[in-house]
Amino acid sequence: MAWKDRLRLVSAIRILLAVAVFATVFALGVRPSWWLMEKLLTSDFSSQKDASGYTFSVLVRRTNENDRYAVEHYSDLGEHSKLVTEFKDQDLEAINSDLRASVSAESSHYVYFKVLKRAEEYTEVQLETPTTGDFWFKYSYRIERGHVRLLKSMGFGPMFGLAVAILPIFVGVLAIICGDRLLRLLAVTRWS
């Protein structure tokens, strides 16, 4: 094999190795980065007693639609919407099924509504607004004695996706640079 061919082969292998390292590190870094961005960008309202000044989504039952579960803004509940303040764990599948059906006819197992904590006097829940668009919100609120109180709010949009991608991209590039230096060091050591 000629020297130039060998050099091309080594360069191609190094490029493929760099792409594989970057893709692996990026894929492994997305989940922790998502978690970190959620923590950083979540607004905490738990210390405030009155949430009447904030717009947030809550779970309702629509009496004009066979008591189907839906999502509406707490400050603007419709005439045929009844705020859901009591439910059993067995109801969670029906709730999520109705919420999934509100945005897609396809079969899905996505959980829009879940219980975070149950205590004797209150229940804390998390609700994501079902949407077919790129922007959606996630709210945590407390249900206590028939009333709700906003705890946390998080909005998802294109800037969130960009923020999530920055950390894995940075770590992936850093892994490529470190890997390249390691390969050069091994090559120098091998030929010395």
Q: 3-state SS of the chain?
A: CCHHHHHHHHHHHHHHHHHHHHHHHHHHHHHHHHHHHHHHHCEECCCCCCCCCCCCEEEEEEHHHCCEEEEEEHHHCCCCEEECCCCCHHHHHHHHHHHHHCCCCCCCCCCCEEEEEECCCEEEEEEECCCCCCCEEEEEEEEECCEEEEEEEEEECHHHHHHHHHHHHHHHHHHHHHHHHHHHHHHHHHHC
Asked, for residue 181, whether it belongs to a domain, the answer is no
Q: Which two tokens stand for residue 162?
A: 């960009």
- For the chain, the domain total comes to 1
Residue 180 contacts residue 41 (beta carbons within 8 Å): no
Q: What is the pLDDT along the chain (192 residues), one digit of tens a residue?
A: 677 777 788 788 888 888 999 999 999 999 999 899 888 888 888 777 665 567 888 899 988 888 899 888 887 787 888 888 888 888 999 999 998 888 876 777 888 999 999 988 999 999 988 877 677 888 999 998 888 888 888 888 778 888 889 999 999 999 999 988 887 787 656 554
Asked, for residue 27, whether it belongs to a domain, the answer is no
**Taking the CB of residue 9, how many other CB atoms lie within 10 A of it?**
11
**Taking the CB of residue 152, how many other CB atoms lie within 10 A of it?**
18
Q: Phi/psi zone of residue 177: left (φ > 0), alpha (ψ -120 to 50 degrees), beta? A: alpha
User: In whole angstroms, what is the distance from residue 93 CA to residue 87 CA?
Assistant: 11
Asked, for residue 16, whether it belongs to a domain, the answer is no
Asked, for residue 123, whether it belongs to a domain, the answer is yes
Domain that holds residue 112: 42-157
Asked, for residue 68, whether it belongs to a domain, the answer is yes
pLDDT computed for residue 183 by the predictor: 77
pLDDT computed for residue 38 by the predictor: 86
Asked, for residue 178, whether it belongs to a domain, the answer is no
Asked, for residue 75, whether it belongs to a domain, the answer is yes
Asked, for residue 189, whether it belongs to a domain, the answer is no
Cα dihedral angle (52, 57, 58, 63), rounded to 10 degrees? 110
